[in-house]
Amino acid sequence: MKNLKKEFPVTSQYIHLNTAGSGLMSETVLDFRQEHDLDYLIQGSILKDKQGAFLAKVRETVGHFFHCESENVALVPNFSLGLNILLEGLPEKSKILLLKDDYPSINWPVTSRDFEVVFADIDANLEDNILQQVENEKPDVLCLSLVQYINGIMIDLNFIKELKAKFPQLLIIADGTQFCGVSDFNFATSGIDVLGASAYKWLNAGYGNGFFLFKESVKDLVKPRSIGFNSWGTKYKEEQSFIGKFEPGHLDTLAFGTLSVAIGLIKSVGIQNIETQVKHLKSKAKEEFSARDLLQSQVKNRTIHSSIFNITGDEKLFNKLREHKIICSKRGAGIRISFHYFNTEDDFNALLKII
């Protein structure tokens, strides 16, 4: 992996182990954003006349990167807004299976509506817990985060594919906010029906942009109610109004252009290179954290895990890490550490030294 300190200047000043909290801005993204706003300054509405074609290219970039047809890509300011639109389109009284203590932006929108809700526990046996609840409760929908934000437990994607094959009528909705950007993911061949994500974390695309990907069959199951002037007017929305229901208002070309450029940077680095680096760091981290008894048993006992870890540590340790310019987050009962491709073994060794 090439040295990325110039691309991500923050890494020259700090050891940033907090992508699970917020990704970084790259020089590549900054260059685009400056040029975009300069164009807006001197062109005004002339720039905005090109908005439809511009956003169509963004959809194509997102769709190509995640292996989804561009006409099934919706651009949303963040995951939460997209999920709320989606839930409004589900049949009333749907039974939805959630994970207990999953991210609030997943669970709260579901539990605040008049759905029948059941839960599966998040522990070392996560997949078995989900399967048991699907068999026993026969939910219409499974809605979950692919990676848990507090401790980094990651669902087995092969299990999701097998679950969908066994229960084809089960609508599977996934939040990829803590997942998208760390590995080569093929939405088309996954068992997931709907994948949504905010892009400010692992895609390093800044705030105000996200996306939803849909399998074609979802359009017959979900009937969103939202609509606005921007729900029409592009080739996608004239031919398929389903996507327009997720984009009722004007979209920000600065924000979504940033998403496209951020994906372009990932492609230039190489998603396989990124995946290799992240796997190396998370494998080393799990081994060393386990040896020091810093992880929960439910994490230590799983073979599949993300690059997010919640280690045992108090306020004193957290402040000590900050004093040494190691950026992380307090989450749950411990300290959340997360590794991305711009992190190095030197970063990890510096962390271990302080611990």
DSSP at 177: T
Report the side by side order of strands in the sheet with 334-338.
308-311, 334-338, 329-331
Per DSSP, the residues of 155-167 read: --HHHHHHHHHH-
pLDDT of residue 234: 53
Render pLDDT for 226-263 as a digit per residue (tens, 0 to 9).
988 888 755 544 544 899 999 999 999 999 999 999 99
Q: Are 309 and 285 in contact (CB under 8 A)?
A: yes
Question: Helix, strand, coil % (nearest 5) of the chain?
Answer: 45, 15, 40
Beta bridge partners of 98: 119
Do the bridges between strand 210-214 and strand 73-76 make them parallel or antiparallel, or are there none, so unpaired? Answer: antiparallel
The C-alpha angle 157, 158, 162, rounded to 5 degrees, equals 120
**Residue in the block written with tokens 């998603």:** 271
Cα dihedral 21, 85, 131, 136, rounded to 10, equals 140
Q: Which CATH superfamily is domain 10-26+270-354 in?
A: Aspartate Aminotransferase, domain 1 (3.90.1150.10)
Nearest of 324, 352, 307 to residue 13 by alpha carbon: 324
d(CA 127, CA 107): 18
Give the percent of the chain with pLDDT over 90: 91
Q: How many helices (H) and strands (E) does the chain have?
A: 16, 12
d(CA 55, CA 46): 15
What kind of fold does domain 43-267 have according to CATH? Aspartate Aminotransferase; domain 2 (3.40.640)
Render pLDDT for 151-176 as a digit per residue (tens, 0 to 9).
999 999 999 999 999 999 999 999 99
Which whole number is the average pLDDT over 132-158?
A: 98
pLDDT of residue 233: 56
Residue 52 tokens read as 């439809």
pLDDT of residue 1: 60
pLDDT of residue 210: 98
pLDDT tier, 317 (very low <50, low <70, confident <90, very high otherwise): very high
Query: In the chain, what are the domain boundaries?
Result: 10-26+270-354, 43-267
d(CA 218, CA 171): 8
Per DSSP, the residues of 18-50 read: -TTT-----HHHHHHHHHHHHHHHHHTHHHHTT
pTM above 0.85, yes or no: yes
Q: Is the pLDDT reported for residue 116 higher than 60? A: yes
Q: Is the pLDDT reported for residue 346 higher than 60? A: yes
Render pLDDT for 263-306 as a digit per residue (tens, 0 to 9).
999 999 999 999 999 999 999 999 999 999 999 999 999 999 99
Nearest of 86, 92, 94 to residue 117 by alpha carbon: 94
pLDDT tier, 2 (very low <50, low <70, confident <90, very high otherwise): low
pLDDT of residue 4: 84
10-26+270-354 and 43-267 share one fold: no
